[in-house]
Structure 1
Amino acid sequence: MADLSHLARPGAEIAVRVTPKASRNAVVIEAGAIRVYVTVVPEGGKATAAVTALLAKALGVAKSRLTLVRGATARDKVFRLD
């Protein structure tokens, strides 16, 4: 999993591309973009919750500090670090 602790600044907006139903949970940086792979299905917000937990772990912050700004039902999401 990629270490994203250098992005953990209050007020920072972090754009990610999500791939649900992946074979493994992972956070990687590809071509300068952050990609998050989760194994759960995109039903009822399960994938978004898994992405929040994985991203928080990669950033080294609590899940409660991440707020979803855009993309609740989209593959491209933007989180703000409070």
Structure 2
Amino acid sequence: MTVYQWQEDDLLLSCHLQPKAAKDEIVGLHGDSVKIRITAPPIDGRANTHLIKFLAKQFGVAKRDIRIISGELGRQKRIRIEQPAKLPALLNIEKRT
């Protein structure tokens, strides 16, 4: 999979997560993934919960519209974003027409 792909109106995103960062941000590319830094530690699922909250804000969707579909216990994750309302410019994702 490349950095992203569309499945109908849903966006699948490959992410490389860096927990315990100084601030929450989308950094850019990391191989075939988007590198995302978040402030939450990787303890008791807090990093995943924080990642979902951060991505919901970035893509203009509710938290329930974002699911981790693989990599829940690692840094490499695949995320499904249901019908994103906006696309962060840094990611250079083309809207599905």
Q: For this structure pair, what is the TM-score category when the shorter chain's length is used for normalisation?
A: 0.7 to 0.9
Q: CA RMSD in A?
A: 1.9
The one-letter amino acid paired with 2:9 is: P
Stretches of 4+ moved more than 3 A in 1? none
Normalising to structure 1: TM-score of the pair?
0.78
Larger mean CA deviation between 32-41 and 12-21 belongs to 32-41
Normalising to structure 2: TM-score of the pair?
0.68
Q: For 1:1-82, list aligned pairs within 5 A.
A: 10-30=9-29, 33-82=33-82
Between the aligned partners of 1:24 and 1:53, the Cα distance in structure 2 is 14
Bigger radius of gyration among the two: 2
Can you list the C-alpha shifts for 1:3-50, whole angstroms capped at 9, x where unaligned?
A: xxxx8x732211111000111111232367421111111001000111
Higher RCO (CA 8 Å, separation ≥ 6 residues): 1
